[in-house]
Amino acid sequence: MKNNVVKKVVIAGGGTAGWMAAAALSKLLGKNLQISLIESDEIPTVGVGEATIPTLHIFHKLLGINEQEFMAATNATFKLGIAFENWRDIKKDYIHSFGFLGHDCWAAGFQHFWLKGKQRNIVSDIGDYIPEHLACREGRFAVLANQDKNYAYHLDAGLYAKFLRKIAERHNCQRIEGKIVNVNLNHDSGFIDSITLASGQVVEGDLFIDCTGFRGLLIEQALHTGYEDWSHVLPCDSAIAVQTKTTGKPVPYTRSIARESGWQWRIPLQNRTGNGLVFCSQYMSDEEAKKLLLANIEGELLNEPRVIKYKTGTRRKHWNKNCVAIGLSSGFIEPLESTGIHLFQKAIIRLMQLFPANGIYQNDIDEFNNQTKSEIDNIKDFIILHYHLTERKDSPFWRHCRSMPIPATLQHRMDMFRQSGAVFKKSEELFGETSWIQVMMGQGIMPKQYHPIVDLMGDDELKQFLDNIKNGVIRKVQNWPDHNDFIKHHCKSAAQ
């Protein structure tokens, strides 16, 4: 291994991933490092990752980012969950909200109490026992003192990158304008020595971070790391994105609307709406997809629809030699559950925790790669769940998704929940029990039984327990203002 002290960090590529890495490294580790970021104004970024999940609060807290300032700068709105429309079947909708479901006991989750209540006909929809779920439906939101951070954001990814760039440059990150034309490897070690730009400038470094998007200029084109293809379980390979003028008040959730051969997103910002269609090119052409998307959007177009091609999967190594892939260069899990920016930040934080200040050692590389693989495998299973667990038979695409082989780990979760109502979260997993319950029930699984500890509670006591939780949710959400009104007072952008 290359055991020289790491003093020079070179980030190849800007965009959301590049500037997230630059801001974090320069502010949190920068006093001992020389950090450079190479990007070209001539190369567009994908820039459609506009929905996030609550883990972004961790990143913002580390960087000391003020929420109101960030939201105003990025035209952001609040997000409490995702509405899945037509996923279980046509006209069968549900919401996967953030937050926590009811109250658990030591032996069993709240779903077991709810399941017995359902048998006794004394409960309502499972979402009535989650404040964020009810707030989605009622269009309410508030940020309160000592409140759990069970919310995320819809944001303009391009403006977010600019916001982070200012932080990075304030902490002495140097931006270098230019196109990368060559990645120069060391003949003996195979490590990256430097990057040559079209201008002839050579940028040397000790550690290189590949944020060059799907191209993977360093991690793949130079180091030939290899790619694990997930197309057999996540068949969508294309997306069309377009922005429209806002036609109404922004709702506090992302809309995911299942279509004939994929799904459509609708993401409300303060000043516009982000729209797109994720689809499988085996079942739908680009032109058909464009026509379908344009027929199902609201508001005047602000730009021309743009086609994005991708392959779901992951690099075989996310850290290879002295190169760490962060962002789309590391792989791509489609944006169904808004996990993209989360994976960027986790990679950045993981790198800082394992930062090779005193030299690059295989133990650190292996730990980074093992942690990354474990996390993305769990997210992959959760995304596959939405496609495979469906009652739709109306198109070849959905029939394929119903019949495709799925990972044994996912089959185990589904079988366990179907049989006993049990759900378990491993410590390293992103999605918790409330998420798995909402999606599995939303997609059609109703457990056959509940945990016997629930029977220690009599019917009257059970009804009082369930009613108290539901009424507490109602009281809590009734005190929250209208989502749009709160934005206007809390973080209104200049563009609104």
CA distances from 28 to 140, 167, 401 (A): 36, 11, 44
Pairing of strands 323-325, 319-320: antiparallel
What pLDDT does residue 43 have?
Answer: 81
CA–CA dist 484, 488 (Å, integer)? 6
- Name the residue with tokens 């001992």: 32
Query: Which of 323, 40, 327, 33 has its CA nearest to residue 201?
Result: 40
Pairing of strands 262-268, 273-279: antiparallel
What pLDDT does residue 496 have?
Answer: 63
Please state the pTM of the whole predicted model: 0.96
What pLDDT does residue 1 have?
Answer: 65
Query: What are 322's two structure tokens?
Result: 């002295």
Cross-strand pairs, 96: 82
What pLDDT does residue 141 have?
Answer: 97
- Outline which parts of the chain fall under CATH 3.50.50.60: 8-50+156-230+312-360
For 82-148, the DSSP string reads: EEEEEEEETTEEEEEESS--S---SSS-HHHHHHHHHHTT----GGGG-HHHHHHHHTB----TT--
What pLDDT does residue 150 have?
Answer: 96
One digit per residue, the tens of pLDDT, for the chain of length 496 reads 667 899 999 999 999 999 999 999 999 998 889 999 999 998 877 666 699 999 999 999 999 999 999 999 999 999 999 999 999 999 999 999 999 999 999 999 999 999 999 999 999 999 999 999 999 999 999 998 888 899 999 999 999 999 999 999 999 999 999 999 999 999 999 999 999 999 999 999 999 999 999 999 999 999 999 999 999 999 999 999 999 999 899 999 999 999 999 999 999 999 999 999 999 999 999 999 999 999 999 999 999 999 999 999 999 999 999 999 999 999 999 999 999 999 999 999 999 999 999 999 999 999 999 999 999 999 999 999 999 999 999 999 999 999 999 999 999 999 999 999 999 988 889 999 999 999 999 999 999 999 999 999 999 999 999 999 999 999 999 999 999 999 999 999 977 6
430 CB-side CA count, 13 A = 26
Query: Which of 154, 85, 94, 76 has its CA nearest to residue 130?
Result: 94
For 102-117, the DSSP string reads: S---SSS-HHHHHHHH
CATH superfamily entry for domain 8-50+156-230+312-360: FAD/NAD(P)-binding domain (3.50.50.60)
Amino acid at 69: E
Q: Which sign, positive or negative, has the C-alpha torsion 447, 448, 454, 460?
A: positive
Query: What are 348's two structure tokens?
Result: 């950045």
Full strand arrangement of the beta sheet holding 331-332: 227-229, 313-315, 331-332
Query: What are 323's two structure tokens?
Result: 């190169």
SS3 257: strand
Amino acid at 251: V
- Name the residue with tokens 């509405």: 83
What pLDDT does residue 47 have?
Answer: 61
Query: Which of 495, 383, 375 has its CA nearest to residue 439?
Result: 383
Residues 6+ apart with CB under 8 A from 203: 10, 36, 38, 176, 194, 195, 196, 197
Query: Which of 400, 13, 24, 404 has its CA nearest to residue 177?
Result: 13
Full strand arrangement of the beta sheet holding 306-309: 92-97, 81-89, 254-259, 262-268, 273-279, 238-244, 306-309
So which residues are the catalytic ones? 79
